[in-house]
Structure 1
Amino acid sequence: MTAWTDGRTMRRIMAGASLAALMTAPALAQSGQSDLDQVVVTAARTALPVTALPLTVDIIDSETLSQQVAIGGSIVDAVSTLSPSFSPTRQKLSGAGESLRGRSPLYAINGIPQSTPIRDGSRDGFTVDPFFIDRIELIYGSNALQGIGATGGVVNQVTAGPPREDGTTGRALLQASADGGFQGDGTGGKAAALVAHRNGAFDATVGASYEARGAFYDAKDRRVGVDTTQGEIQDSKSWSLFGRFGWQFDDSLRLDIVANRFELKGDGDYLALAGNRLTGVPTSSVRGAVQGKPAANRAEMLSASLTDSDLWGGDFSAQLFFNRTRDTFGGDRGATFQDIRIAPIGTLLDQSSNRSRKLGARASYERALPFYQGLTTTVGLDAMTDKTEQSLLLTGRVWVPPTEFTSVAPFIQGNLALLDGKLRVAGGVRSENVELAVDDYVTLASYGSRSVAGGDPTFSATLFNGGVVAEPARGVRLYASYAEGYTVPDVGRILRAVNTNGVDVDDYLDISPVVSNNREIGAELKRGAFSATATYFWSSSKFGQLLVLNPATGVFDVQRQKVAIEGLELNLEARTPVEGLTLMGGYARLRGQTDSNGDGKVDLDLDGANISPDRVNLAAAYINGPWSARLQTQFYIKRDFNGPDPRNNFEGYNIVDAYVRYETGLGGLSLSVSNLLDEQYVSYSSDTANPTDNLRYFAGRGRVFTVGWDRRF
């Protein structure tokens, strides 16, 4: 990498990190939780508390999540706002290019993967309504804890739990929102309810939500441009159904069945009006009906989980799940879809749809070994099959052939407590055994109608992790770790773009797996009213995945290049003498490079399509009696990229949000304002990609007001 990674600079950064650990915040600062010792992160596949693990973890609790969703509208917005290492959201249905620590995160619901890495539709952040989510678990860095996909980390969405007592309980929510200029078509609303009942050993929780979103406006009261192809959140409607049914057989044995259905559809009322990048005029929208079906997203999930917290003195869990998604993209007459055999060039309208089905099983057993004091071991087995395809709806053509991914992965983990728990050594190994099955197919005419021989390539990878956790003094926690993560590249994007003859899937190097590693050191301090964390990490992959814009088609293609990323994360939380007032701050600095010429050395900066900007987060939270409030700001720092197109350099911007809630006794009344100062800016994704595309030069949303009422009963 560049000179910033030389030894002297590295020592300065490490010294700064160690010093910052004395004045910055713990991984749980965002949630306001004060006692880490009892916090168990289910995404870590262990019953041990988070303090026993050599990981960087954030937990966004229910109250904080509700605040952030009221401000931003989605789980993706909440995670992006609170985590400095997460890239700014696109404010679109597609999350392509959004990253955690410069790599793709794995979105999961109760540990069930929502991502579709075989043909990444980038809709995995919108598969469940936030109303049904109790908390978010964020595990940072490449890891294989959940199997495939977590090269940047894990975003695990834990759904509402079972009722604790007999009887009926529930909660309800009503919200209305409007843009800062109170435009008639800029209003939206949401209604949601969740009811739970418990009677002895049986309990049931059911819920429904509905949300209608209006047009988005920027700070200059211009409609934000619509992305009719990739999909929109604005001018859309979504609805969701949720159910959880449980049987508590005895004090330790429980069965849970969870079902979820989420669907978001664009209304298709607007067309994009090209902006002008040279003069700084963003893309806007005008009234008009889209051609074909508006972009949409549908996700359905069904799971059965059996847990026993006292099976032969240990913890047992087993889970079966079925998950399917359908991502419909908008229609266009782009060069990719043209075929002279069907219609004159430039006249053929088509649109695609991704369909993915997953069937999986996971089991693990953990217990402290009676013959070796202090050692806790976990053994498990994960198995999953994922069948994905991308077809063209209007002409019936196949763009990505049906591709079936099958994985079987046994694993073992150990955690050894020494010196009365003041020192812990943890480690484990996971064996990934993967097969891809692809039938023979023919690419689209725009790629030359190439015949590609299918096949059944197999991959295997042994993934290691290990780390040390030390607590040299009360309230001080130090850790160092190494972990490997695993995914496959966007196989569908690669297969559909084959433009040469004689390709055989069995020996096509470009679809071999991506194995990334994450090395990090961290420090946490918690003393009285102050808490702090500092983390420094290195991440690399010898044969990574890079999104590169194809100027001929306007579509991002995958290039397989070596990638190296480094970063520094600092957080701070302090309770003030003012009762109920807490101040928080966070900082992230990320740098990434890739090997552009194949000589084995990284030499070119990752651009905005592949890595997030540096950022400073500041917030003040207040809770006292019936009042709660939050004021927060995110400074996205300007950056010039070394090597990529200089037109993609990032200008930077600053967003301020506010939230206030009052509990009346008949429910809580809330007011949230996103982009409080009505900052005019171009979104990070638009500012750092597609330098000649005036139809995707999107401004961010201007000021938005949301009023809400919620009540628990």
Structure 2
Amino acid sequence: MKSRVWLAGAALSALVAGAARADDAAPTDISEVVITALRVEQPRAATPATVQVIGEQELTTQQTLSHSAVEAVAALVPSFSPTRQKLSGAGETLRGRSPLYLVDGIPQSTPLRDDSRDGFTIDPFFIDRVEVVFGSNAIQGIGATGGVINYVTVPTPQESDGWAGKVMGQTTFDDEGEGDSFGYKVAGLVGRDFGRWDFTAGAAYETRGAFYDADGLRIGPDSTQGDIQDSDSWSLFGKAGVDLTDSRRIEVMANHFELQGDGDYIVVNGSRATGRPTSGWRGKQLGEAPRNKVSSIAIAYRDGELLGGAFSAQAFAHDYKGTFGGGREGTFQDPRIAPVGTLFDQSENNSEKLGFKLDYERGIDAVPGFRFLIGLDGLKDKTYQALILTGRKWVPETTYESLSPFVQLRQALFDDRVHLSAGVRQENATLKVDDYTTIFAAGGGVAVAGGSPSFEETLYNVGGTVTLIDGVTAYASYAQGFTMPDVGRVLRAINTPGRNIDSYLDVEPVVSDNLELGVEVNRERWRASLAYFESKSDRGALLVLNSGGTFDVQRQKTKIDGFEATLRVRVADWLTLGGAYSKLNGRTDGNGDGVLDRDLNGANISPDRFTAFAEAAWGPASLRLQAQTYESRSFEGEPAANSFEGYTLVDAVGTWRFAAADVSLGVQNLLDEQYITYFSDTQNPTDNARYWAGRGRTVTLTVAKRF
């Protein structure tokens, strides 16, 4: 066995063997947490949907194994897709549909030109917890056809007893000790409560080395969509609040995040025929390296005693730039600039958002147990995609404006053992596009008349929960969610003269109808849940591979159904065991005849998955072992080469809490399983440049201190 593996195993054994007595490692009890993503303050027993909260302790453990919030979500949420381990999250879904990523309620997505980079917009060091609301809903507006993933940032200190904060140092390397696999991270956060006002601020920097598979082969970079290996990221975060009175508070949050590849490796094609994955050689990529650059700022106000109710308001601004790798693709060629086949260019997606959210919630004394929430959301999203080396606009500047009033009603009955809820949201949206000319590859460059197509959509939800006996709650709900089709792909591809945006562009939203039935058990030593769901869309938005090797969005009828089951048992004071199972079925109408005649493919639905874990804690030491099994899958209507073989991954994390600091050792892919990632295995069956293996055994050492 390799020397570094012996070292990792010995260290983990020492963490356990040197322990003395149990320590409580229970997860966040969401029955006691206000889920801000739901926009109402209500107990878990009143929520007719599956909700999961990934608490600070669980996040800290997962960050010892991986270095992104997306991977933490993928490891802990049953029906989330296996990640691509790349900067792009295309094909990463929740219950087979795209989730809406939020940071403190600020939308991170770019639906007008969806580049699937919205999972990498904040450093996980600044996240306090992750709220996951499963299934289609319109609680937060556009984009949540699969659910909501809300990153809630760290709070400011709330005690006037001096400075408080945390610092962390981390190093990561391949278990074979390859020098270019070495990476490290340093981060710090400090704050103080001064009485009436408080603040916290921090910074983080991380450099990532090359990734290696279990066979010791360097994993090839995604030089077009972007990669997280061979990259650097840095982040600044700040939050400050003022208590105007005991019930009124104003708070400001700012976040800046940049992740950019170093571009030190070039792709070496693999071979799907022989099973050799895509690799990488040292060499400088041409053009600018792929990058995410994100800045967000929000100001929030809350009055907990306004006219007998609670009023909250938030205004935000969000600026995003996503740079993609370059090439000499036919799409970029223009003989007016350079001879065909020689023109090198690359694109950058730009999105600027301004928005606000207004909520007012209260009860009515004359109707015991009744509460209502009324609100108004406004959003302006200006998006375009540029070819940055030649100064061309690939997708013209497109502005989405919406104003959306909503009302949500809730009635508690029978001493709060029954909760009924219903709501309606009215979306009023307009898409504005000025006159523009496409690039040369689209019909030689054609003039397109601008326009302002619009739509109105009324979205409903209704649900109820029943406490059958103490600790056992059943629920049922129906909810609608919506998103925009990727209009940017349509606008940039118009190749026929005389088109008019008002009559040509289909802006009808993708509306998904979600039905869910579930039961949850919360006992002293064990918790369990079972949920069945069904999601339909008459005109869905699917990723479909085109002849050029990239994905188009097609409007097709879809249906997804499945179930999730979870179990967590505290076997002894020092030992907790648990697991989960999720199963998904997805069908679509491939020929437009209204019949669901083929399976959703791997770009649109995740494999069935079983997870298991064991957590042990003695005194200052703790250990977590976790395993994920992705089951094999074939797809009716897809090439046989796109069938998924399945694989199992095992991870381990050990922590010792010294007086000076906490020391953790994490081993990702403990058994050094060689596998092809799900997205690579189920897509592009003839593309040897995107046949990527997953990471092999990887070791991460973390030293952290709170003060």
| Partner SS, residue 516 of structure 2 | strand
Q: What are the within-5 Å matches in structure 2 for residues 208-607 of structure 1?
A: 208-448=203-443, 449-508=445-504, 510-551=506-547, 553-577=548-572, 579-607=573-601
CA distance in 2, matches of 1:132, 1:247: 20
Q: Is the 8 A contact 1:206 1:244 kept in 2?
A: yes
**Does the aligned pair in 1 maintain the 2:345–2:387 contact within 8 Å?**
yes
Shift of 1:555: 1.6
| Deviation for aligned residue 1:503 | 2.8
Deviation at 1:197, TM superposition (A): 1.1
How much has 1:463 moved relative to structure 2? 0.3
Q: After the TM superposition, which of the residue ranges 592-601 and 663-672 deviates more from structure 2?
A: 592-601
Q: What amino acid is aligned across from residue 187 of structure 1 in structure 2?
A: F
CA contact (8 A) 1:31 1:59 kept: no
User: Counterparts of 1:275 and 1:482 in 2: how far apart (Å)?
Assistant: 46
Asked whether the equivalents of residues 428 and 465 of structure 1 are also in contact (C-alpha less than 8 Å), the reply is yes
**Rounded Cα–Cα distance in structure 2 between residues aligned with 1:31 and 1:237:** 33
SS in 2 for 1:197: strand
Please tell me the residue identity of whatever aligns with 2:429: V
* 1-structure distance, mates of 2:518, 2:73: 21
Aligned partner of 1:181: which letter? E
The 1:210–1:255 alpha-carbon spacing in structure 2 relative to 1, beyond 3 Å, is same
Q: Secondary structure at the match of 1:131?
A: helix
Q: Counterpart of 1:560 in 2: which secondary structure? A: strand
Cα shift at 1:599 = 1.3
SS in 2 for 1:65: helix
Tell whether 2:42 aligns with 1:44. Answer: no
**2:610: which partner in 1?**
616
1:360-380, CA deviations, whole angstroms, 9 ceiling, x for partnerless residues? 010101111112111111000
CA shift for structure 1 position 590: 0.5
Contact 1:510 1:560 in 2 (8 A): no
- Greater Cα offset, 595-604 or 701-710: 595-604
String of CA shifts for 1:610-658, please: whole Å, max 9, x gaps: 1111100001112332112210010000001011122111111111000
Counterpart Cα distance in 2 of 1:343 and 1:433: 45
CA distance in 1, matches of 2:129, 2:197: 23
1:625 maps to 2:619? yes
- Give the TM-score, by structure 1 length: 0.94
**CA apart distance, 1:250:** 1.6
User: What is the CA–CA distance in structure 1 between the aligned matches of 2:632 and 2:506, rounded to whole Å?
Assistant: 34
Paired with 2:482 and 2:28, the residues of 1 have a C-alpha distance of 33
Does the CA contact (< 8 Å) of 2:632 and 2:646 recur in 1? yes
| Alpha-carbon contact 1:389-1:401 (below 8 Å) kept | yes
Distance 1:81 1:345 in 2: 46
Q: Which one of 64, 79, 86 corresponds to residue 58 of structure 2?
A: 64
Tell me, yes or no, if the aligned pair for 1:47 and 1:315 is still in contact at 8 Å: no
CA distance in 2, matches of 1:176, 1:631: 20
Number of residue equivalences:
682
**Alpha-carbon distance, 1:262 to partner:** 0.2
- Which residue, 620, 624, 628 being the options, matches 1:634? 628
Shift of 1:35: 4.5
Which of 168, 173, 180 does residue 178 from structure 1 map onto? 173
Task: Name the counterpart of 1:669.
Answer: 663
SS in 1 for 2:58: helix
Distance 1:407 1:575 in 2: 48
CA distance in structure 1 between the aligned counterparts of 2:495 and 2:575, rounded to whole angstroms: 60
Q: How far apart, in 1, do the equivalents of 2:285 and 2:612 lie?
A: 41
Letter in 1 for 2:304: S
Q: Could you tell me whether the CA contact under 8 Å between 2:27 and 2:57 is conserved in 1?
A: no
| SS of alignment partner, residue 689 of structure 2 | coil
Under a length normalisation based on structure 2, what TM-score does the superposition of the two structures give? 0.95
Q: Match of 1:100?
A: 94
SS in 1 for 2:331: helix
1:130 aligns with 2:124: yes
Cα distance between partner residues in 2 of 1:709 and 1:186? 19
1:77 to 63, 71, 80: 71
In structure 2, the residue matched to 1:165 is 159
What amino acid is aligned across from residue 447 of structure 2 in structure 1?
S
- Rounded Cα–Cα distance in structure 1 between residues aligned with 2:152 and 2:164: 19
Q: Distance in 2 between matches of 1:85 and 1:45?
A: 23
Alignment-derived partner of residue 19 in structure 1: none
Residue 90 (structure 2) pairs with residue 86 (structure 1): no
Are the counterparts in 1 of residues 45 and 467 from structure 2 also a CA contact under 8 Å? no
Q: Deviations over 1:495-527 (max 9, x none)?
A: 212233443221235432111111010011123
Displacement of 1:31 = 9.0
* Contact 1:494/1:511 (<8 A) preserved: no
- Give the one of 649, 661, 685 matched to 1:655: 649
SS for the counterpart of 2:539 is coil
Q: Kindly provide the amino acid, as one letter, of the partner of residue 409 in structure 1.
A: S
Q: CA deviation at 1:530?
A: 1.8
The alpha carbon displacement at 1:34 in A equals: 6.8
Counterpart secondary structure, 2:624 = strand
C-alpha separation between the residues in 2 aligned to 1:365 and 1:646? 54
| Range with greater deviation from structure 2 (495-504 or 64-73) | 495-504
Cα RMSD of the aligned pairs, angstroms, is: 1.2
Percent of aligned positions that are identical? 53
Determine helix, strand or coil for the equivalent of 1:562: strand
Hey, what's the Cα distance between the residues in 2 that align with 1:351 and 1:229?
A: 9
SS at match of 1:607: coil
Amino acid corresponding to residue 517 of structure 1 in structure 2: D
Shift in Å, 1:446: 2.2
Tell me the CA shift for residue 171 of structure 1. Answer: 0.4
The one-letter code matched in structure 1 to 2:109 is: S
- Cα deviation for residue 316 of structure 1 reads 1.2
